[in-house]
Amino acid sequence: GAVVSQHPSWVICKSGTSVKIECRSLDFQATTMFWYRQFPKQSLMLMATSNEGSKATYEQGVEKDKFLINHASLTLSTLTVTSAHPEDSSFYICSASLVAVEETQYFGPGTRLLVL
Amino acid sequence: GIQVEQSPPDLILQEGANSTLRCNFSDSVNNLQWFHQNPWGQLINLFYIPSGTKQNGRLSATTVATERYSLLYISSSQTTDSGVYFCAVDSGGYQKVTFGTGTKLQVIP
């Protein structure tokens, strides 16, 4: 149980295009999902907290107009990188919280974004 | 915000050896988790351990919340244990976690 999926796993796009990444909790409902970013050989940095039916809460320094987050249902959150640039290239990981089980977060497999 | 430091940053082990990874945090926490990130990037939950000791097979973890540290023990290491180990803490509630700096482990045959 407690499986989180992400799609796509890999994406390569041209500079200036927008990219949407989906995060789904497959076998549980998640009222809260989180989006992280990880640069090579670095730790994970929280970008935003996504709550179903409400606006996302962004961490300091994260541009909300650049990284659009939508949490339309209890099993799906999406991250859209708008007008992507090479510096947006990174590994994006989502997680979903299963509060009933010790407030544990379960992580998706991640999406590698390369902007050319 | 809270600072989470892990040591050592890099570790190379011979297969079969034991190791201890440390996580220090600068403030009191509501919970603490240990994760293993495999070479493909997938984060795997190892322990949810805000305090006390837990064991799962060859792995065990201990958190001493009053002294603000946690330890992850790996016994009889295997090559499949290679990867990066992160601790992550929630200090402010709302399940918002801060990840540690990570320990990169390489187990060689």
The DSSP string of A44-99 is EEEEEEEETTS--EEPTT--TTTEEEEEEETTEEEEEE-S--GGG-EEEEEEEEET
- Beta partners for B91? none
- Contact of A23 with chain B, judged by CB distance below 8 Å, is answered with no
For residue A91 the two structure tokens come to 């590994």
Q: What is the pLDDT of residue A52?
A: 81
Task: Report d(CA B2, CA B52) in Å as an integer.
Answer: 21
Query: Which of A 27-86 lie inside 8 A of B, CB atoms?
Result: 32, 34, 36, 38, 43-46, 49
Burial class (CB in 10 A: 0-12, 13-18, 19+), A20: middle
Contact of A36 with A46, CB cutoff 8 Å: yes
pLDDT, one tens digit per residue, over A29-70 is 887 899 999 999 899 999 999 888 888 999 999 999 999 999
Check residue A4 and give its pLDDT: 93
Are A49 and B43 within 8 A, CB to CB? no
The answer to whether B41 contacts A106, with C-beta atoms less than 8 Å apart, is no
pLDDT tops 90 at residue A7: yes
Give tens-digit pLDDT for A63-109: 999 999 998 888 999 999 999 999 999 999 999 987 655 567 889 99
Would you say A48 and A67 are in contact if contact means Cβ atoms under 8 Å apart? Answer: yes
Interface touch A93/B43, C-beta < 8 Å: yes
Contacting residues for A55 by C-beta, under 8 A, at least 6 apart:
none
